[in-house]
Amino acid sequence: MSSADATLAWRALVTAASEPYQRAGRFAWHFARGKLRWDPVFGHLIARGLIAPRTRVLDIGCGQGLLASLLAAAAQAARQGRWPSDWAAAPVEVRVSGIELRERDVARARDALGDGIDIVCADMRTAEFAAVDTVVILDVLHYVSIAEQDAVLARVRAALPTGGRLVMRIGDAAARPRFLASAWVDRLVNLSRGQGFGRFVGRPLAAWRARLAELGFAVTSEPMHAGTPFANVLLVATVEPGADTPAAGS
């Protein structure tokens, strides 16, 4: 398949990954389609191969399980030979588990993807993290305090082997007013869902990078907010050889 077909291939993936959410109701289906279409991070993860084939993935704050559905649709497309040549290796035989705080999202994930989906309704601050190859945390850590963010990150590091990867999107608090736009939109979404005003705890990109480096990660970052007014940045952090496993809470 040529690169000219990549756009068509991505559209087909969005359709296939959203389709199961019809079983979870109109909101879940429209939300899945909208999020996959308009949020640049999902296409980026797939085209760049940030989820490697034959790996175990933990998606923290997984919402209604969109990433799991997308990876399943991607594996199916690859098996059928529908994989653009300029995309990285397809995420075949990936095992995804998820942690999500909100019962309603967990129920939607199960309605859409079946009871066999490995998702627990739990708080990332206390949930156990199984040993995996890749941890994904997209737009989640800002809901907890800096100390709690650090404790989660230390436990993520402990769950990963050398060469393991953390893929995390954060808001860059140094990039005002974009960061403030993210905070207000997030608060309005929380309010509309009846969840109160919510918290939005950020730090500058340099501080995120420094914290991850202290934990023994080699870090790359790139803006991940195309088409939005936000200050979102994608961090890809890889456990360096020889990095000590930090004590939990350090």
Ligand X SMILES: C[S@@+](CC[C@H](N)C(=O)[O-])C[C@H]1O[C@@H](n2cnc3c(N)ncnc32)[C@H](O)[C@@H]1O
Residues at the site binding ligand X, with contacts judged by CB under 6 A: 35, 61-63, 66, 99-102, 105, 123-125, 138-140, 143-144
**Least distance CB 41 / ligand X (angstroms):** 7
**Least distance CB 141 / ligand X (angstroms):** 9
Cα–Cα distance between 24 and 22 in angstroms, integer? 5
CA atoms within 13 A on the CB side of 108: 25
- Which are the contacts of 51, defined by CB distance < 8 A and separation ≥ 6? 45, 57, 71, 91, 94, 134, 136, 167
CB nearer ligand X, residue 33 or residue 102 = 102
Strand partners, 99: 60, 120
CA atoms within 13 A on the CB side of 84: 20
CB nearer ligand X, residue 120 or residue 218 = 120
Q: What is the helix (H) or strand (E) element at residue 73, kind and residue range?
A: helix 66-79
CB nearer ligand X, residue 35 or residue 211 = 35
CB nearer ligand X, residue 2 or residue 126 = 126
**Least distance CB 33 / ligand X (angstroms):** 13
**Least distance CB 70 / ligand X (angstroms):** 10
Angle at 18 between CA 16 and CA 22, to 5 degrees: 115
**Least distance CB 26 / ligand X (angstroms):** 18
**Least distance CB 3 / ligand X (angstroms):** 26
- Compute φ and ψ for 26, nearest 5 degrees: -65, -40
- Which are the contacts of 193, defined by CB distance < 8 A and separation ≥ 6? none
The reply to whether omega before 177 is within 30° of 0 (cis) is yes
CB nearer ligand X, residue 55 or residue 190 = 190
| Residue whose CB is nearest to ligand X in the complex, by number | 61
CB nearer ligand X, residue 86 or residue 123 = 123
Q: Within 10 Å of residue 186's Cβ, how many Cβ atoms? A: 19
CB nearer ligand X, residue 92 or residue 144 = 144
- Which are the contacts of 8, defined by CB distance < 8 A and separation ≥ 6? none
**Least distance CB 61 / ligand X (angstroms):** 3
